[in-house]
Structure 1
Amino acid sequence: MKIISGKLKSRIISIKKKYKIRPTTNLMRKILFEWLSKYIANAKCLDCFAGSALLSIESVSRYANYVTTIEKNFYIYNNILKNIKRLSIKNINVINANILYWLNSNGTPYDIIFLDPPFNNKIIERVIYLLEKNNWTKQNTLIYIETQKKKHIKIPKKWFTFKKKNIGEASGVLYLVKKK
């Protein structure tokens, strides 16, 4: 997979096929980062289901200030570390943890949060609950959720649909948090 734009444009991210992860497609990433273009520079981002870490690396490429990326699979976590080292990226903190445990403490809010869990996984609503309960969001936090197209997710009343796009079997929705 290649980085689409920014200071790391055209750089390759290596992903071993044996890990069976589903990275966000080039087209969906292009659309997502067009949506985020006014907000990504200097943002503090959280990538809750790193997988390939493409969303994290694309964020840094587009001048996000800092990204925390969480991956529970130890081998995928190591693959991410190798890619970050090879690309000489210093402002991504990669954590090997289960996202449910990691979010289960009082948090420091992020500007942009990515939720792109494996399809057919029922974890997303638990993660959304923890993000709200433990103060990981703030006024105007942007939250991107990618799921199967027809999957219904319960969203907090404070989250408003900002942008939405369906491509193939995937649905990408960008929410804006309004705390007031």
Structure 2
Amino acid sequence: MKSAPGRIRIIGGQLRNSRLDVPDLPGLRPTAERVRETLFNWLAPVIAGARCLDLCAGTGALGIEALSRGAASVQFVERDARAAQALRDNLSRLKAPGGQVAAVDALAFLHGAAQPYGLVFLDPPFALAMWEPIAQRLEQDGWLAPGAWIYVESPRSSALRLPNTWVEHREGAAGEVRYALYRRVLAAA
């Protein structure tokens, strides 16, 4: 099912079939509906009560989908002021509690006081190639809870160097996009 231009839909949970307004911004690439459905099927056993971080949130579709499916809270981080405002407007219109929006660059946000999250969505604009610096900061600065889940969306042709504590759980591809779910696994001391 294709969405009308400028709108995408939430596919599961309390907000199922709700529409999100999507601003017309260069480089904004909402995660495809089919990919979101697969991802949240993978996350079904762990999403209820999860504390989530949606970095480079864009439309916020991943984080709002998480809230819809029972996540306790989502911290959205989006550097584009117009996208951040559209995200705030969507959260308000949907009466989705538990979502906070920070209109700041992801790396700048990660220079703040760390709070560990159990689920992180990492889907930066492909042209910015920010996966590795963000992943390093997440891992080294206390942003990930032990056993955290990390979703990464990237160009299919990219070979990312992610922390060795991130163990691939599942992966897939859709067109030119590769998506993967990792689990943070720490070595026993």
Partner in structure 2 of residue 6 of structure 1: 13
Matched, 1:83 2:95: no
Q: 2:60 maps to which residue?
A: 53
Q: Distance in 2 between matches of 1:107 and 1:89?
A: 24
Q: What is the CA-CA distance between 1:138 and the residue it aligns to?
A: 2.4
Match for 1:41 among 39, 48, 65?
48
Aligned 1:58-137 pairs, distance under 5 A: 58-137=65-144
Cα shift at 1:133: 1.3
| RMSD over equivalenced CA pairs, Å | 1.0
Structure 2 counterpart of 1:138: 145
After TM superposition, the score normalised by the length of structure 1 is 0.97
* Poorly superposed stretches of 4+, deviation over 6 Å: none
Percent of paired sites with the same residue: 31
CA distance, structure 1, for counterparts of residue 166 and residue 25 of structure 2: 36
1:178 aligns with 2:185: yes
Equivalent in 150, 163, 170 of residue 163 of structure 1: 170
Q: Contact conserved, 1:19 with 1:76, CA < 8 A, in 2?
A: no
How big is each residue's C-alpha offset from its partner over 1:111-162, in whole Å with a ceiling of 9 and x where there is no partner?
1000011112221111001001111112210000000001011111111000
State whether structure 2 residue 148 is matched by structure 1 residue 149.
Answer: no
| Alignment partner of 1:24 is 2:26 | no
Partners of 1:167 and 1:18 lie apart in 2 by: 22
- 1:70–1:94 Cα contact (<8 Å) kept: yes
Post-superposition offset of 1:19: 4.8
Amino acid at match of 1:58: E
TM-score, with structure 2 as normaliser? 0.92
Contact 1:138-1:179 within 8 A present in 2 as well: no
8 A contact 1:105–1:134 mirrored in 2: no
User: Secondary structure in 1 aligned to 2:31?
Assistant: coil
Conservation of the 8 A alpha-carbon contact between 2:23 and 2:82: no
Alignment-mate amino acid for residue 36 of structure 2: R
